[in-house]
C-alpha cells in the first residue's frame, strides 16, 4: 500500500478507535459482501429471464424442452460459474469473520 493510503488508514482507525487490522478486515468484509450482492443479482437476472427458481430448475427446463437451448445453455454456464464464485466469496467471508 502507498504511504498516503497507510496514513489515511491509520487516521481512520484512530478515529474509529479500532486497530488497523480490524479496519482492514472490516473493509474487506464490506467489499466482499458487495461483490456477493452483485453476483447474486447477476444470477437472479439470468434465472428471472427464464422464470427459473434455481440453476437446477433452469437446467431441467432445458432438458424438458421448455426453453430453447440457445442461448439458454450459455446463460446456464454463466449462472453455474456465478454460483461457484459465490461459494468462493463465502469461503473468504467465513475466513475473515473467523479471524
The model's pTM: 0.85
pLDDT in tens, 39-89: 999 999 999 999 999 999 999 999 999 988 789 999 999 999 999 999 999
Does residue 89 contact residue 72 with C-beta atoms inside 8 Å? no
pLDDT given at position 64: 93
Give pairs for 24-28: CB < 8 Å, separation 24+: 25/96, 25/99, 28/92, 28/96
CA 64 remoteness from chain centre: 30
The stretch 91-95 carries a mean pLDDT of: 97
- Run of H or E including 19: none
Does residue 58 contact residue 77 with C-beta atoms inside 8 Å? no
All three cell numbers of 59, joined, read: 437446467
pLDDT given at position 68: 82
For residue 99, is pLDDT > 80?
Answer: no
pLDDT given at position 69: 79
pLDDT given at position 70: 85
Does residue 45 contact residue 21 with C-beta atoms inside 8 Å? no
pLDDT in tens, 16-33: 999 999 999 999 999 999
For residue 11, is pLDDT > 80?
Answer: yes
All three cell numbers of 55, joined, read: 440453476
All three cell numbers of 96, joined, read: 475473515
Amino acid at each position: 500500500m502507498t504511504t498516503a493510503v497507510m496514513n489515511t488508514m491509520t487516521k481512520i482507525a484512530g478515529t474509529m478507535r479500532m486497530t488497523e487490522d480490524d479496519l482492514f478486515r472490516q473493509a474487506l468484509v464490506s467489499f466482499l459482501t458487495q461483490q456477493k450482492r452483485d453476483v447474486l443479482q447477476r444470477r437472479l437476472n439470468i434465472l428471472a429471464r427464464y422464470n427459473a427458481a434455481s440453476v437446477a430448475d433452469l437446467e431441467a427446463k432445458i432438458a424438458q424442452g421448455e426453453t430453447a437451448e440457445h442461448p439458454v445453455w450459455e446463460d446456464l454456464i454463466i449462472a453455474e460459474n456465478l454460483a461457484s464464485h459465490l461459494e468462493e466469496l463465502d469461503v473468504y467471508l467465513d475466513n475473515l469473520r473467523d479471524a
